[in-house]
Amino acid sequence: MNLVLLGLNHKTAPVALREKLAGLVTDVAGAYADLKARPELLELVLYSTCNRVEVLCATETPEDALRRLRDFFSHLPDASADELDKSIYAHRDRDAVQHLFRVAASLDSLVVGEPQILGQIKEAYRQATDNRATGPILNRLLHKTFSVAKRVRRETGICDYAVNISYAAVTLGRKIFGSLVGKTAVLVGAGEMAELAVEHLRGDGVGRIIIANRTLERGLELAQRFGGEAVSLEELVDQLLIADIIISSTGSPQYLLTRDQVKGVMRKRKHKPLFFIDIAVPRDLDPAINDLDNVYLYNIDDLKEVVEINWQRRHQEAVKAERLVAEETLKFLDWLETLAVYPTIISLKEKADRICEAELDKTLKHLGPLTEEQRQALEVLTHSIAQKLIHDPILFLKGDQHPQRPTQSLDLVRRLFNLDPDREPAIAEEE
């Protein structure tokens, strides 16, 4: 059995082409119906994200499977054959397994270590099973993929370091407080940066989230999605009385909070520490705020330094992750190769058992009456001799004495023990 993977991603195809291809697989059931109708594709998993579209299949005829998959991709409307040929890549067997493991472990992502990709692969596998497209090979491979991705996260720090500004802001807040559990966070703005920050804050157990936005409707929409509260920008100063951390990310051309506004609030707070993280460009918060006692203000440049350091750390951890992926790839391939020899091992054992039974029957006919105990002793003897005789050939097959020529190993054993009696003699083939 062979594995074939065909796809394109952010490294090989522009976003415009990826968008078109994502549209091709919008109808998941239809895509699987199309692919399953191609007899060369025995098992299938199709996954599509914003950065990649790939199809993985198990097949007995890899060259035919590659042609079928290319034909599937060629149905993409408004994309030239030349454009597809330049963007599509293909992986087989070991390379296909290793590629899938790297994707799930987020080593092949636009942002190395980003956590969403594993969930997307799991959802793609669920869709594949719902459409009855997988079988024993891909079921085993996908479950192994999930365990590899978890092992990479568990044994490396590839996901530990913030590499986007919103995540860095929340990470900084966690370092400041030790824990964000039970804290009150005020998000100023309701755009993409704020949305990402809210997701990370919720993940860190923040007790209360307040969204302050110029357009109250947008603030309410974001607050309702994450179980928070919404207020208008006019109420922002009042929210400082109860806040522990404020993260601001609007497009305002002027300061939303000044030094004097915060100074007045600090008296009412009895100088309880207050932390501001300004990730807006231009800045939302008056830099002079940082001069106040028990007030700490960080801006986007502070966070960029954190992000740059973390990029370097993630890539260092990625080296460890690549080693784990290579190790797990070899383990899966060992299983796959062992799977290929099972039919021959079974045939060998069945032939040995048939010979034992036939020869024992002949012998018993020429012997006088035997007790049941004597009969069983003879059965054990003949079975034991047969098992010892086939023991070394089985070890030979399982040990894969010719890793570059596995089919020759199987063929040799099948010829030696005549496991295919209907097959023409080897001398005839040589002539």
Shared domain check, 131 and 34: yes
Q: Whole-number mean pLDDT of the chain?
A: 83
- What is the per-residue pLDDT across 223-256, written as a single tens digit (0 to 9) for each? 888 889 999 999 999 999 999 999 898 888 889 9
Shared domain check, 205 and 260: yes
* Strand, helix or coil for residue 246: strand
Shared domain check, 189 and 216: yes
* Strand, helix or coil for residue 187: strand
Structure tokens at 161: 């370091």
Range of the domain at 110: 2-159
Shared domain check, 215 and 129: no
HEC secondary structure over 277-319: EECCCCCCECHHHHHCCCEEEEEHHHHHHHHHHHHHHHHHHHH
Determine, yes or no, domain membership for 228. yes
Shared domain check, 53 and 152: yes
Shared domain check, 154 and 15: yes
- What is the per-residue pLDDT across 165-223, written as a single tens digit (0 to 9) for each? 677 777 778 777 888 888 899 999 988 778 878 887 887 888 899 999 998 888 999 88
Instruction: Tell me which of 50, 57, 159, 356 is the catalytic residue.
Output: 50
For residue 362, which amino acid is it?
K
Domain-ending residue, one of 308, 329, 351:
308
Q: Which residues pair with 210 in a beta bridge?
A: 186, 229
Is 325 within 8 Å of 153 (Cβ atoms)?
no
Shared domain check, 109 and 178: no
Shared domain check, 176 and 148: no
159 part of the active site: no
> pTM to 2 decimals?
0.58
| CATH code, domain carrying 48 | 3.30.460.30
Shared domain check, 112 and 172: no
Shared domain check, 134 and 171: no
The Cβ of residue 429 has, within 10 Å, a number of other Cβ atoms equal to 8
Phi then psi for residue 103, to 5 deg, are -65, -50
Shared domain check, 127 and 13: yes
Domain-ending residue, one of 102, 130, 159:
159
Determine, yes or no, domain membership for 326. no
Structure tokens at 198: 């809210």
Shared domain check, 73 and 192: no
Domain-ending residue, one of 116, 131, 159:
159
For residue 378, which amino acid is it?
L
Q: What whole-number distance in Å separates Cα of residue 87 and Cα of residue 144?
A: 28
Angle, helix 28-36 to helix 116-130, in steps of 10 degrees: 60
Question: What's the structural domain count of the chain?
Answer: 3
Length of the chain: 431
Q: pLDDT (tens digit, 0 to 9) for every residue of the chain, 431 residues total?
A: 789 999 988 888 876 777 677 666 678 888 899 889 988 999 999 988 767 889 999 998 989 999 999 888 887 666 677 878 888 999 999 999 999 999 998 888 766 777 778 888 999 999 999 999 998 889 989 999 999 999 988 888 777 765 666 777 777 787 778 888 888 999 999 887 788 788 878 878 888 999 999 988 889 998 888 889 999 999 999 999 999 999 898 888 889 999 999 999 998 988 788 999 888 877 899 999 999 999 999 887 777 766 677 777 778 888 888 999 999 998 888 788 776 677 778 888 888 888 888 888 888 888 878 888 888 888 889 888 888 888 888 777 766 544 444 556 667 777 888 887 765 444 333 33
